[in-house]
Amino acid sequence: MERNKLSVSKLPFVEEFVRLCEDGVSSGFHERNGGNLSYWLTSEDVASLSGLEPAGEPHPLEAKIDGMAGEYFLVTASGSFMRSIPRNPERDLCIIRIENDELSYRLIWGLSSGGRPTSELESHLMNFAVRAAVPGRRCRVMYHAHPIHVIALSYLLPLDEKTITKALWTSMIECPFLFPAGVGVVPPMIPGGAQIARLTSELIRSHDAVMWAHHGLFCCGASFQDAFGLMETIDKAAHLLLLVDGPSLKRVNRIDDSLLYEIAEVSCGAVNTDYI
């Protein structure tokens, strides 16, 4: 098994995955354990895993992932730090296979110190599934990060995709060519659950990028370069907008108390409600 761990971490698609994590950290997109990444393996990638057997029992998913039975995905681990992934990929990454019921998965590789895939696994998998159902729109990479300029913009503009998209399009002339379908917008909500996964997947069907208000951005692409390049472009466009128009913009949105109370409830007492 140690030999298999070493050989898997050196496979080209794993090395490309790790390189995106490094690029995201150097761009300032990932504080602490913020953000996550997933990759849908090709048949050639799966063939390179020959000899690896599933470990343990199936793990349940929060939602059914239609059409994904038997498919393999490389994903970041829950709680993992992007900056640590290059030093220990077999601990902070994992390859999973979706079971035939499409309601569970099994671990194939990784998570050498235990744990589970990213808490936003269902968002990633549902996004892959809806894009696979649209002819010519299949994606191989789903990337979620916390680009600071995009998050800042979500406080300063109305949270509708027409307003957000036009603001980004008019900040840099290449933008309409690079994300012609615009940017979808999900309102502020607790991350990591089935509700945000469903809303994101509805938008990702027709958009390559979806803003999670006050939280971050979800981008997809046919390759690691495509997904990262889109994240980088949208954050740069938001940065330009803040530089040019920022002084004239006023906050129109905020994280309200009701959402903070929801977060406190989900945290099982870890969030001190005395501050709300």
Residues labelled as active-site residues = 120
DSSP the chain: -HHHHHHHHTSHHHHHHHHHHHHHHHTT---TT--EEEEE--HHHHHTTTT---EEEEEE-SS--TT-TT-EEEEEBTT--GGGTTT-HHHHEEEEEE-TTSSEEEEEEE-TT---B-TTHHHHHHHHHHHHTSTT---SEEEEE--HHHHHHHHHS-S-HHHHHHHHHTTSTTHHHHSTT-EEEEPS--TTSHHHHHHHHHHHTT-SEEEETTTEEEEEESSHHHHHHHHHHHHHHHHHHHHHHGGG--------HHHHHHHHHHTTT-S-GGG-
